[in-house]
Structure 1
């Protein structure tokens, strides 16, 4: 599975980071989320989907 955060849509609410802090990091300068690696392990897929579903801006794709 690949996880991506669209920086054009992300508003920096931080819900993804609260849901899955090991997957989603927040930039210091603006609080926008990002992932260090788009490829995630099978054990992280459920959290990635939950974070994507929880994003108020729908800035996360997990497929």
Structure 2
């Protein structure tokens, strides 16, 4: 299935979840927020939230700085 992650096209297997999308983009395990089609998905729901064709996923990583 084709989804858009942070503005770029990705091909993910059928049945992919939000967790798969995060893994496709980053190896980070903390400091991450995700929204699918402008709706925030809590971390506890990543592995149980399925993606569908043409979903728009935004994966945001916290960055420290000054």
TM-score by length of 1: 0.33
* Bigger share in helix: 1
With structure 2 as the length reference, what TM-score do the two structures score?
Answer: 0.32
The structure carrying a bigger strand percent of its residues is 2
